Amino acid sequence: MKAYRDMTPTQLHEELDSLKERYAAFKARDLKLNMARGKPSPEQLDLSMAMLDVLSDSRSTTDILRSAAGDDLRNYGGAAGTPEARELFAQILEVSASQVMVAQNSSLNLMYDTIARSMTMGVRGYRPWTRLDYVKFLCPSPGYDRHFAVSASFGIANISIAMGPHGPDMAAVEHYVNTDPYVKGIWCVPKYSNPTGVTYSDEVVRRFANLKPAAKDFRIFWDNAYAVHDLVPGEGDELLDLASACQEADNPDLWYMFASTSKITFAGSGISALATSEANLADIIQQLSYATIGPDKINQARHLAFLHDLAGVRAHMARHAELLRPRFEVVIDTLQRELEGLGIAVWTRPRGGYFISLDGLPGTARRTVDLAREAGVVLTNAGATYPYGVDYCDANIRIAPSYPSLDELRQASELLSVCTRIAAIEMLLKGPGLMDCSACLFD
């Protein structure tokens, strides 16, 4: 197809008229499709239904509900979780079980609580953040909107850091972290980043490990949500182990790592983990002693009986991949068929995770999302992948392919492509000067 920038105004108007006819046909279908959030599909959730009965087997119920150490999981205690659950997450996150605590269903809740405790109790004896004049967090962008919302909800100043093909702009990260004592943390989704699908390179991970923070209570919030979420089992991205890299760099306490089974078993009824250095973990468990007597250890036992170990997790995730991979392929194939060669959009082709990132021409994302919504397809709000919901280039759109059916995805992806093309032509007809944005992927 001919690039839109090479077309005359007359040709662009003709193309726009043709696209508006296609768009009207989509509106006539009265679609009601949602690609706004990365929810597992019902078919994915069905993969874990056996977990509801897994505690009923030939052994007595009492025997099943005892840990290997002999603790009764029905009772109070075990603030760090069961030894078996801690070992399972240690295998997933490539850390020691002594560095892991296992909690309730939500890793996001663990992150929120970690910020809240830092605000009110401080980190390892340092001054609580509420007693400081400022607190700042670095936000690799485009990134995970819920991360940015957590820090913003506490009045923390979110600072956008550009994301590249290998991870965040580390020169910017090092400048802020190493020189500004008010920078207390950075949000990271290091493997199959939300929404770009980028996995941090070994160099990026090592540069994180070698940070020299001006704030002694600075921590890396390493949300390894997609640690085992490869689209092709055995052919996924490899992520360097941050914990070992920090140990080698003589920065053993620099990291917090988070994960959960939310997209492994049941999204609303999984288990979550926080991993960090043993010194950090002891401080966290002491702070938590005022809030809880222990997590739901029966749910932890249910997950262990169902998943068993890392090999069991990988086998289970291979079944997820069989459902997810065709969905990603439908979206990417449609974008390629509809947009390739037009010079108006670029998109990611991730090897795992839950999202595809689409960048249109500067100044077109909001218009694209609005057009799609008017025709019955709900996308994540334009700008949501940036702090405070502001994408100054107005270019990025997050696509979540996991929940709709394949047929729904075909329709939604085609409509999204048509809307992207309409918004691009409208912008081109207004004049190229309106598209100047030094941070964007287009000249």
Q: Tell me the pLDDT band of 70, cut-offs 50, 70 and 90.
A: confident
pLDDT, one tens digit per residue, over 197-224 is 999 999 999 999 999 999 999 999 999 9
Q: What is the mean pLDDT of the chain?
A: 95
Rounded Cα–Cα distance for residues 406 and 338 (Å): 17
Q: Is the pLDDT of residue 61 over 80?
A: no
**The token pair that represents 65 in the structure block:** 């509900």
pLDDT, one tens digit per residue, over 130-153 is 999 999 999 999 999 999 999 999
Give φ, ψ of 101 to 5 degrees. Answer: -120, 140
- Do residues 375 and 35 lie in contact, with contact meaning Cβ atoms separated by under 8 Å? no
Structural domains in the chain plus CATH codes: 4-44+315-435 (3.90.1150.10), 68-308 (3.40.640.10)
- Do residues 96 and 280 lie in contact, with contact meaning Cβ atoms separated by under 8 Å? no
Q: Is the pLDDT of residue 283 over 90?
A: yes
Model confidence, pTM:
0.95
Q: What confidence score (pLDDT) does residue 134 get?
A: 95
Q: What confidence score (pLDDT) does residue 59 get?
A: 54
Q: What confidence score (pLDDT) does residue 436 get?
A: 56
- Write down the residue that tokens 């006539």 correspond to: 28
Mean pLDDT across the stretch 107-121?
97
Q: What confidence score (pLDDT) does residue 442 get?
A: 45
Rounded Cα–Cα distance for residues 381 and 370 (Å): 9
Mean pLDDT across the stretch 158-168?
97
Residues whose CB falls within 8 Å of the CB of residue 292, separated by 6 or more in sequence, listed in order: 79
Q: Is the pLDDT of residue 396 over 70?
A: yes
Q: Tell me the pLDDT band of 58, cut-offs 50, 70 and 90.
A: very low
Sheet strands (E) in 167-228: 167-168, 183-188, 219-223
Pairing of strands 167-168, 157-164: antiparallel
Q: Tell me the pLDDT band of 187, cut-offs 50, 70 and 90.
A: very high
